[in-house]
Amino acid sequence: MSNIPFNDKRGNRVGVDLSEAVDREDKYKEAHGEWCDDLEASRDLNPKDKRGYAFILRWYEGWRLGNNLESSVASARAFWRAEVMEKPRETWQLDEWAAGMRWYKRWLELCMQEYGYVPKSLEEKVRRAVISTGKRRGLSPRTIKCYANWAGRYAGWVGERKRVLDPVMARKWLTRLVEKEKVSYSTQKQGLNSLAFLFKDVAGWNEVDLGVHFRKRSSHIPTVLTVDEVKRVFARMEGKYRLAAELQYGAGLRLKELLGLRVKDVDLERKTVTVRQGKGRKDRVTVLPDNLVERLRAQLDEARLVYNADRERNAEGVHLPDALARKMPMAGQSWLWFWIFPAIRETRDPISGVTRRHHMHEAGYSKCMKKAAATAGIDKRMTTHVLRHSFATHLLEGGTDLRTIQDLLGHDNITTTEIYTHVVKNVGGSGVKSPLDGF
């Protein structure tokens, strides 16, 4: 069944034959095995050394796959700098891990000398097949990474190439997520969607039964700040981080929507913010607060300086959605598509490998907000999404109807918006008071 190709409506083969993708290295596998097999079979290493080497090499493999890098001395060195040397280590740890990386370097050299390539694990082959197909299908980088991680994890659990595309094994793995690992409902859905993509889009199956009984989603009440708490958090933030936080709260944006805003998406005259390809790939228009207009204008002036400097040195344009990049290849170098909150330094695009200027990193922004909340004495679990929850709740408390809030937030179903009726003041806005208040 794994030999079934996927054809589009015109009869052109567009899928990935998973068997062909993994058969190329079967000869090596039969003769020599992968690095973990060779390490285990090494006669010049004692069991303690093997365990130590395996630890650092699995750490490296996880980091390498997460960053979509090939097995090489260069990626091993990058891992050592980025992960091992990022904080102080014990001398015995560095000695043991360095010995493990030297063993791996020799192993890479022997593979290239004898076979001309470095073998890939089943997990990596499946991950690469998913990434390749996801790019062609126009999936977002985050979705591609999610699907690749889950599919690779599943393939590593199966362990045998011929059983990766066995629906029985897929159902067992999904059931295991529910019954043994007890993951959340959203995590279960991610696993299911990833395997469905692997079977249907990557391997070309027309139908596949991956039915599994998921644990029911638990009902969560969102964390919401009071207006005073929001002000206290903002007062302890500065510069572009404060402006970004106020814009996220004032327009009810998701984190990804906020950071991905481009110059053309903000209309300072009409005081609107247009969210492009938000959750569910939908566009929507939300409100731009009056008191942010001038500060946003100043931020655009600062962004313009960064843009002009990039153009003077003929830097790569900003990232564009794949379809748009093919249709308008030069749009990434235009001012309209530049980020409102550009990053200070250029970084390497993990999908294309091109070094270009990305938008402000979410980690720095999130860290600044959590630090501000802690300094302000906010005794609540603080994330950037709390600002979106607070936006909806405060609108509801101010008399805005649910239907309008639904449109501003971009919810498909109004029942999703109704969750905020449980956190408004006075118990859902009904004015009910506890009997204790009458004592």
**Catalytic residue ranges:** 254, 279, 385, 388, 411, 420
- CA–CA distances in Å: residue 165 to residues 18, 136, 231, 244, 305: 9, 21, 53, 45, 52
Distance of CA 181 to the CA centre of its chain: 22
Half-sphere exposure of 60 (CA within 13 A, CB side): 29
DSSP state of 376: T
By the 10 Å C-beta count (0-12 exposed, 13-18 middle, 19+ buried), 291 is classed as exposed
Residue 257's contacts (CB-CB under 8 Å, 6 or more residues apart) are 275, 278
Q: What token pair was written down for 50? A: 């093997």
The pair phi, psi for residue 420, each rounded to 5°, is -75, -15
Q: Where are the alpha helices (DSSP H) in 6-85?
A: 18-23, 26-31, 35-41, 47-66, 73-82
Cα 46 from Cα 42, distance rounded (Å): 9
| 66 closest CA partner among 193, 153, 177 | 153
Here the contacts of 134-141 (C-beta below 8 Å, separation 24 or greater) are 134/197, 134/201, 135/322, 135/351, 136/14, 137/201, 138/321, 138/322, 138/323, 140/277, 141/350, 141/351
The CA distance from 275 to 261, in Å, is: 7
Q: Which residue has the tokens 């960053």?
A: 67
Residue type (1 letter), 213: H
Q: Token pair for residue 133? A: 């197909």
Q: Are strands 266-267 and 272-275 parallel, antiparallel or unpaired?
A: antiparallel
